[in-house]
Amino acid sequence: MPQQANVRVRRIYESPDADDGKRVLVDRLWPRGVSKERAHLNEWAKDVAPSTELRKWYGHDPERFPEFEQRYRAELRDPEHQDAFEQLRDLAETGTVTLLTAAKRSDISEAQVLADLLAEPAGNA
């Protein structure tokens, strides 16, 4: 039986931590001012990121987060996102994964939605 996923959410602008495990950027766009060397990424999972349309509609407005989360979870059930999400789930089952985002508030970001989904049993996306 796979182990419980140990998933963290952090901003990519924070310094890497020894406990990060696999570091995965989950934004569709590369973060401004961060070099690939400074990012210390294991993977850039841009295919799991929200669609451009959803990202622009949301605009990280805290009042829109509940609806953003619902819409994003629906997007993740689409075949184009589902494969990328399952790859992320597989990675999380092998050990600690830190989902990275450039959002100013990671607690209302797609990274947090993904972390919450990865903590749920498979099939609940």
Position 101 scores a pLDDT of 97
Percent of the chain with pLDDT over 90: 85
Numbers of helices and strands, H then E, in the chain = 5, 4
Structure confidence by residue, pLDDT tens digits, 55-113: 999 999 999 999 999 999 999 999 889 999 999 999 999 999 999 999 999 999 999 99
Structure confidence by residue, pLDDT tens digits, 20-61: 999 999 999 999 999 989 999 999 999 999 999 999 999 999
- Length of the chain, please? 125
pTM above 0.75, yes or no: yes
- Which regions of the chain does DSSP assign to beta strands (E)? 7-11, 22-25, 43-44, 97-101
